[in-house]
Structure 1
């Protein structure tokens, strides 16, 4: 029987996840910590996912299925958060596998470290067949706040956090599409300590469902906004992103003051797509958008800036000579060796 109050609630969102769903669910329900509930949020699956969940639920009442009509990941995560009964909440994705003692080890750590509100861990990488790929993701447990201010040190499906704190900060926010986890970590860190348990907790599956360039750019954009908002909060000022209810459109001709400079930058970064570089009107090629922020670009932004410069050089023979010289200069400033290799392929 399901305990009155489980020790841990596991939130597992899924959409069309029939291939690995049984393995993911089994890895939770066979944990050494038995006092748990598994909340699977089915985001409008059109494959065999609903049937699989019905079968699995009949065998174990700790599995609770929540359904929604393709409302997206943030809605699924917040639905799970709203229904979770335990004081501790863990995450897992439908293509990953939790190691048997994962939940017990994280629960024990949080019980002995009441100041910690967010706890991550390490992951072993596996392929689509479950075979180890010879690599592990081992984020350092040291200087986490310094790292968090620059990028996320957490592997999302390894985390466990306190339900009360998660609800206190308002859960996940839809405005930070593809970067909702990073924004969430930053807000949790505002009111508590963060840590990484230096142990393998999950098997993290890498497979053919690769992230598109558009989604990757959106993820980087959301991360930039999350960092800017966090810096304002740390300085004791109001959160400038609090009024955002949806992901900002960087093509909006009248962006808010908070996202204006970032939107200007990302209109240029999307020119990494050769098709966009070819079709962009000359008036949209705003070199100053990158030049003004060149020294502060993250590794991901720098990669897109390099690709954008190369796309423009390759696709736009109509550009003035002075502009072409500036674009070539960017490539050199952002990485001379890589620039030389890219230019040789031109």
Structure 2
């Protein structure tokens, strides 16, 4: 029997996800009021992930694709997208979960407004070790649905507020904008996609809890890897839409400052000073970064009283006003 094309294709990239993947698949299959397919992409995982997924293949709603070589999460997602039959694409990582009913409202919104390219909800984070939930920092400005396209893009460049597991993307966005950037290996390929969509389509926020991002030691990304990719994304967005160039410059300074702090805390003082200085030169000038750079020049931050940093920062702000 030939099944009707699904409304939603759920793309789950999998690499060393044996301990998590079954829960993710079940949470996708528990969705109601929509027709869907679950496309699991095994990214040449060396563990038993594929065997776990094979236990779900007796249902017509789950497919397993195998990559011969590991290509990273963006490549795995692209493999799933290219094979997808749904009108809409939803991303679910192997260690994340969905709340029941998470897709139905988003599908209705996309069905009713062809100018919307992406709909997203809220997520909570959960420790895989303890099961404790925490409120996610990925929350948009309260008036995000009332802002112009440029204003939405500007807000997104300053701070990513779109949880990947709580997003739903119109399939035609990929036809127009291209697939995920496989050269990005730091885990921000999804942010790059969201920025491109926000520059071309309307996006809409649903203020309800839709996804759980489970936190464990293996899904932590160091800023040292992430920041260079973020800077490239900002530069590309600013070049494409000059209206957000100043905001992109400010965001560049903030990301460089975060990188410098990581380097500083790890005792890599020469690298930290260089990153602080790059942050200072970003527009507008980052006086906090300049103050911290001066402290870093004296050695470990722990050897300098915090009061000195605060006084230096206040002095620099007065000088800059």
Query: Shorter-chain-normalised TM-score: which range?
Result: 0.7 to 0.9
1:217-236 matches, cutoff 5 A:
217-235=224-242
> Alpha-carbon deviations, 1:133-178, whole Å to 9, x = none?
2535543452333411322220111110011112310111134443
| C-alpha distance in structure 2 between counterparts of 1:174 and 1:306, whole Å | 37
Aligned equivalent of 2:78: 78
2:152 is equivalent to residue 157 of structure 1: no
Give the direction of change, closer, same or farther, for the CA distance of 1:230–1:334 in structure 2 (3 Å limit).
farther
Give the direction of change, closer, same or farther, for the CA distance of 1:274–1:170 in structure 2 (3 Å limit).
same
Aligned equivalent of 2:126: 126
- Higher RCO (C-alpha under 8 Å, 6+ residues apart): 2
Report the Cα offset of residue 32 of structure 1.
Answer: 0.4
**Cα RMSD (Å) of the superposition?**
3.7
| TM-score after normalising by structure 1 | 0.72
Q: Could you say what secondary structure the match of 1:4 adopts?
A: coil
Runs of 4+ in 1 over 4 A off after TM superposition: 284-288, 296-299, 305-312, 328-331
| TM-score after normalising by structure 2 | 0.77
Number of residue equivalences:
292
Aligned equivalent of 2:192: 183
2:4 is equivalent to residue 36 of structure 1: no
| C-alpha distance in structure 2 between counterparts of 1:18 and 1:46, whole Å | 10
1:50-199 matches, cutoff 5 A:
50-57=50-57, 59-68=58-67, 69-128=69-128, 131-136=131-136, 138-140=139-141, 142-143=143-144, 144-178=152-186, 179-199=188-208
| C-alpha distance in structure 2 between counterparts of 1:157 and 1:298, whole Å | 36
- Work out whether residues 176 and 226 of structure 1, in 8 Å CA contact, stay in contact via their aligned partners in 2: no
- Work out whether residues 2 and 37 of structure 1, in 8 Å CA contact, stay in contact via their aligned partners in 2: no
| C-alpha distance in structure 2 between counterparts of 1:276 and 1:29, whole Å | 47
Q: Could you say what secondary structure the match of 1:313 adopts?
A: coil
| C-alpha distance in structure 2 between counterparts of 1:202 and 1:152, whole Å | 16
| C-alpha distance in structure 2 between counterparts of 1:333 and 1:109, whole Å | 47
- Work out whether residues 87 and 162 of structure 1, in 8 Å CA contact, stay in contact via their aligned partners in 2: yes
Aligned equivalent of 1:25: 25
Aligned equivalent of 1:289: 278
Report the Cα offset of residue 185 of structure 1.
Answer: 1.0
Q: Which runs of 5+ in 2 are unaligned?
A: 145-151, 244-251, 317-321
Give the direction of change, closer, same or farther, for the CA distance of 1:227–1:290 in structure 2 (3 Å limit).
closer
2:318 is equivalent to residue 333 of structure 1: no
| C-alpha distance in structure 2 between counterparts of 1:315 and 1:287, whole Å | 15
Q: Which runs of 5+ in 1 are unaligned?
A: 237-260, 317-323, 337-346
